Amino acid sequence: MKLNPFTLGTAAALLLAIFGPGPWPGFGMGPWLDRICLALAFGAVCFGCLTWFLRSHCKRLLADTRSKPAPPELAILRERYARGEIDRKQYMEMLHDLRI
């Protein structure tokens, strides 16, 4: 499991803000600014975790849909069009027939 350094740093800052020094948790910037910074840090950690999850687990799903080879019928049709055996109108009609 590989974690993003930004996510780890933000998580450390969040933990420091919650359990940091002083009589009250926070960064020492006042009650309202501390809450805003804490909310931003928490959002950054959530965003980092979500990004990591999607990148690590959804690559397999995306790779399966992108790497499908074309059916042999379409390959033959493309070759015939490239050699000039059929014109564009015939190619489009045959392509439409094969896709349905």
What is the residue whose two structure tokens read 């804490």? 38
Q: How far is CA 82 from CA 14, 67, 86, 98, in A?
A: 60, 23, 8, 17
Chain-centroid distance of CA 49 in Å reads 12
pTM (two decimals): 0.39
Quick one: tokens of 69?
Answer: 């080879």
Q: Per-residue pLDDT tens for 20-72? A: 655 555 556 666 777 787 788 888 888 888 888 887 777 666 655 555 557 78
